[in-house]
Structure 1
Amino acid sequence: MTETPTPTPTPTPAPHHPYGTPTTPHVTVRGEAHLEVDPEIARITVTLTARGTDRRTTLDGLTHRNTTTLDLIRTYGDAIEKLETGTLTINPELTRHGRAERIRAYHGNIQITVTLGDFTALGELVTRLADHDLTRIDGPWWGLRPASPHHAAARRQAVQGALQRAREYAEALDTRLGALLELSDTGVHGDPHMAPVGFSAQARSYGGATESAVDAAPVDLEPVRQTVDAQVEASFTLIPPDLG
Structure 2
Amino acid sequence: MSDAPVISVRGEVVLEAQPELARLSVHVQSQESERRTALDRLVERNQRALDLIRSYGAAVERVETGGLAISPVLRHRRREGEVRAYQGTAWIKITVVDFAVLGELVTRLGDLERTYVHGPDWDLRRDSEVYARAARQAAQEAVARARSYAEALGARLTGLIELADSGLIRDNAHRGTPLMAAPMAAVADAGASEPEPIALEPETQLVRSSVEARFTITAPDLDA
**TM surpasses 0.5:** yes
Residues 1:169 and 2:153 aligned together: no
Residue equivalent to 2:20: 40
Check the 8 A contact 1:58/1:108 in 2, yes or no.
Answer: yes
Stretches of structure 2 lacking an aligned partner (at least 5 in a row): none
Residues 1:223 and 2:202 aligned together: yes
Residue equivalent to 2:98: 118
2:63 partner SS: strand
Check the 8 A contact 2:170/2:208 in 1, yes or no.
Answer: yes
Over the residues paired in the alignment, what is the CA RMSD in angstroms? 2.2
Residues 1:239 and 2:215 aligned together: no
Residues 1:69 and 2:49 aligned together: yes
* Counterpart selection for 1:54 from 34, 39, 50: 34
Letter of the 2:202 counterpart: P
Structure 2 Cα separation of the partners of residues 161 and 220 of structure 1 = 39
Letter of the 2:85 counterpart: A
Residue equivalent to 2:7: 27
- CA drift of 1:76 comes to 1.1
Percent identity over the alignment is: 46
CA distance 1:213–1:159, change in 2 (3 Å)? farther
Stretches of structure 1 lacking an aligned partner (at least 5 in a row): 1-14
Q: TM-score, normalised by structure 1?
A: 0.83
Aligned length: 221
Check the 8 A contact 1:143/1:191 in 2, yes or no.
Answer: no
Letter of the 1:227 counterpart: L
* Counterpart selection for 1:92 from 68, 72, 78: 72
Q: TM-score, normalised by structure 2?
A: 0.90
1:101 partner SS: coil
* Counterpart selection for 1:78 from 58, 70, 84: 58
Larger Rg: 1
- CA drift of 1:95 comes to 2.3
